Structure 1
Amino acid sequence: MNTIGLFFGSDTGATEEIVNEVKNTFSKEITLHDIAKATKDEIEQYDKLIFASSTWGDGDLQGDWEDFEANLEKIDFSNKTIALIGVGDQEGYEDTFCNALGHLYNYVKEGNVVGFTSTDGYEFEESIAVVDNQFVGLVLDEDNQSELTKDRIEAWVKDIEEHF
């Protein structure tokens, strides 16, 4: 399937707004799926995927993603291209900043994961979303750096679009 499947979970609406902005920035067709209503089969039909989650509690996936985790364990991502989006609060949760991104990465890392981004411009202490000194996807902080979101999305989409 040539369409990109973008699966997201959103409690407050912030992540949903972000994925809509990502969809509008891409020049290729993206179909949005709320993970609360998604199935394993829906994810498996796509060769190109974007997953988006905010981080909750002590570094956990958003609740709907947590409910879906057992399905992620059963999906073969090895022949898929995947990009990840994480939303977090680097000041309030500096020791678990965007950990949800790291959790998603652990499920998909056997695939062709694209869209790693620099940790420059962020101030946090720890994150499992950092591999080889880079975030494993696009990281956004709507609580403390919302003014940077649009530019970060545009730069990230420009960087990954050729892989999709």
Structure 2
Amino acid sequence: MKKMGIIYGSSTGTCESIAQTIAGKLGVASADVIDASKITTEKVGGYDILLLGTSTWGDGELQDDWYDAIKTVKAADLNGKIVALFGCGDSESYCDTFCDGMGVLYDQLKNSGCTFVGAVSADEYSYSSSIAVIDGKFVGLALDDVNESDKTEERINNWMEEIKKNL
């Protein structure tokens, strides 16, 4: 059985809560749900599947803990690993950088040898711009738990069904 780890960066608790929800639905042990500020290369290396989550801050930037954590993840051998991304953003107040943090994670890891799964059609979202969108799809699960919290659970469930096909 493949070992799955969920690594998240969260400043306000929203992304952490999403990570916990995903873990519960996938049966991932709490020890395998890790704050990005506490990740090590050895931990990353122990997983076959990585679910990486971040909120977006400022002008489309990564959550603070990811600045060091992304270096740690990149230092691990990601060849053959499956990676699924999830991101939190504000599609109303920051519609021009919606979930850009997730796009930054993707950009940092796209040449690492990992296989990305879980792209989500951008059709059902309201935003003006996002670097997390490639060819009409978000590179992972985009969530706005502030303005569209009524859609969060359904979006998580649909995304998990899609990534399960690739696990």
Taking structure 1 as the reference length, the TM-score comes to 0.93
The structural deviation recorded for 1:49 is: 0.6
C-alpha distance in 2, partners of 1:55/1:9?
Answer: 10
The structural deviation recorded for 1:6 is: 0.5
The aligned amino acid for 1:155 is N
Over the matched positions of the two proteins, sequence identity in percent amounts to 40
Aligned partner of residue 101 in structure 1, secondary structure: helix
The structural deviation recorded for 1:78 is: 2.7
Q: Which runs of no fewer than 5 residues in structure 2 stay unpaired? A: none
Q: Does 1:82 align with 2:83?
A: yes
Match for 1:144 among 147, 150, 154?
147
Q: Does 1:163 align with 2:145?
A: no
Aligned partner of residue 11 in structure 2, secondary structure: coil
1:117 match? 120
1:153 match? 156
| Residue pair 2:70, 2:105 contacting (<8 A) in 1 also | no
2:43 match? 42
C-alpha distance in 2, partners of 1:108/1:81?
Answer: 11
C-alpha distance in 2, partners of 1:8/1:92?
Answer: 23
C-alpha distance in 1, partners of 2:70/2:39?
Answer: 12
Match for 1:134 among 133, 137, 149?
137
The structural deviation recorded for 1:143 is: 1.3
C-alpha distance in 2, partners of 1:37/1:74?
Answer: 15
More divergent stretch after superposition (85-94 vs 40-49): 40-49
Aligned partner of residue 103 in structure 1, secondary structure: helix
C-alpha distance in 1, partners of 2:4/2:71?
Answer: 22
| Residue pair 1:72, 1:107 contacting (<8 A) in 2 also | no
The aligned length equals 163
Q: Does 1:19 align with 2:19?
A: yes
**RMSD of the TM alignment (CA)?**
1.5
Aligned partner of residue 63 in structure 1, secondary structure: coil
| Residue pair 2:39, 2:72 contacting (<8 A) in 1 also | no
| Residue pair 1:87, 1:142 contacting (<8 A) in 2 also | yes
C-alpha distance in 1, partners of 2:165/2:136?
Answer: 23
Taking structure 2 as the reference length, the TM-score comes to 0.91
2:102 match? 101
